[in-house]
């Protein structure tokens, strides 16, 4: 039935999800001709404009929806997001704090999520954690909020606090590999603290390896296996590390991080010739834009006395990623 508004609304939603904003706009215009007060159509039309980067027009559509129904929450949240994406996050934060205030909707979980995301984007990690804590006050065992809080604690360089949060998620979801991987990741970061002694560093690296191993037991993918190898190598367990890297490359022979790590293991065993071959193979056969392979190859060339060749490799790395701090460090050193 051509006058069925819902059909055109859902068609617009589907076209938008299919990354076809032009077709979505056409369907939604038809829906709004049939019912200009369709709140869903108004919000989706705002989403179409937002997808095109036209945030002022998007806010106008969301605003029209709110003129029809001032309590329509999707429009309130979308307006805040449009302010943020349009370059005015302070306006988005102000609107959301009003919406989430004690006189409005302090228990609106979706609002706290959006506020946390915007605050994180603007560099206010403390504020983002506070927003997540509001979610956890409403639902103390929300795994997604706990995982997000752990990630923010790592941003604050509080890896052991992050370990505690990830461990809570692992207890809530004992069959999920993700929290175990993050426990390993947090332990690995904690081992990198400049103030800890070598004995404590190795202890933390072994804890990271245990967590990554648990993750690998649930996730047969290459990444956790490579991570077990990497922290084992940092802990001085060279044979174990090489074994893990080889198991990783058995899973995926073209997984560049594991191949680079095998090269690093060769370097630590004073076999630079073999290491250089590995890095060159990554660049030539797997990923010519692999920054780490270029940098590690440059390091070996430098140690071998080939300074000009090393500089050329580092220039290639910096062309790919101008912000690679290790590449700039080696350029300065050479």
pLDDT tens string 28-78: 999 999 999 999 999 999 999 999 999 999 999 999 999 999 999 999 999
Mean pLDDT, to the nearest integer, of 304-311?
A: 96
Q: Judge if pTM exceeds 0.85.
A: yes
Mean pLDDT, to the nearest integer, of 253-276?
A: 96
pLDDT for res 195: 86
Q: Tell me the C-alpha to C-alpha distance, in Å, between residue 88 and each of 44, 248, 313.
A: 21, 45, 41
pLDDT for res 310: 97
| pLDDT bracket for residue 194 (50, 70, 90) | confident
Whole-angstrom distance, CA of residue 331 vs CA of residue 321? 14
Largest CA distance in the chain: 77
| pLDDT bracket for residue 9 (50, 70, 90) | very high
Whether residue 2 is predicted with pLDDT greater than 70 in this model: the reply is no
| pLDDT bracket for residue 193 (50, 70, 90) | confident
Whether residue 99 is predicted with pLDDT greater than 80 in this model: the reply is yes
Q: Tell me the C-alpha to C-alpha distance, in Å, between residue 176 and each of 46, 169, 227, 309.
A: 37, 9, 17, 46
pLDDT for res 1: 62
């Amino acid at each position: 039935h051509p006058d069925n508004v819902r059909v055109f609304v859902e068609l617009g939603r589907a076209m938008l999800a299919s990354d076809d904003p032009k077709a979505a706009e056409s369907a939604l215009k038809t829906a709004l001709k049939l019912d200009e007060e369709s709140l869903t159509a108004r919000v989706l039309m705002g989403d179409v404009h937002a997808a095109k980067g036209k945030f002022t027009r998007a806010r106008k559509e969301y605003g029209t929806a709110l003129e029809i129904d001032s309590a329509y929450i999707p429009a309130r949240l979308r307006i805040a997001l449009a302010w943020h994406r349009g370059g005015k996050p302070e306006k988005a934060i102000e609107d959301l704090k009003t919406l989430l205030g004690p006189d409005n909707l302090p228990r609106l979980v979706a609002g706290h999520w959006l506020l946390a995301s915007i605050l994180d984007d603007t560099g206010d990690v403390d504020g983002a954690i506070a927003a997540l804590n509001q979610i956890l006050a409403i639902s103390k065992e929300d795994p997604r909020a706990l995982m997000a809080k752990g990630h923010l604690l790592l941003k604050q360089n509080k890896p052991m606090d992050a370990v505690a949060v990830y461990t809570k998620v692992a207890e809530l979801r004992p069959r999920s590999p993700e929290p175990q991987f993050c426990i390993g990741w947090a332990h690995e970061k904690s081992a990198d603290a400049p103030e800890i002694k070598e004995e404590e560093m190795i202890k933390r690296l072994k804890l990271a390896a245990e967590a990554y191993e648990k993750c690998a037991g649930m996730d047969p993918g290459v990444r956790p296996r490579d991570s077990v190898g990497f922290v084992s190598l940092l802990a001085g367990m060279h044979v174990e590390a090489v074994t893990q890297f080889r198991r990783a490359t058995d899973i995926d022979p073209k997984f560049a991080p594991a191949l680079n790590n095998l090269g690093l293991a060769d370097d630590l065993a004073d076999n630079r010739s073999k290491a250089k071959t590995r890095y060159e193979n990554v660049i030539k056969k797997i990923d010519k834009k692999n920054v780490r392979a270029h940098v590690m190859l440059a390091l070996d060339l430098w140690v071998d006395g080939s300074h000009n060749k090393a500089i050329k490799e580092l220039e290639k790395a910096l062309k790919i990623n101008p912000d690679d701090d290790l590449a700039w460090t080696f350029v300065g050193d050479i």
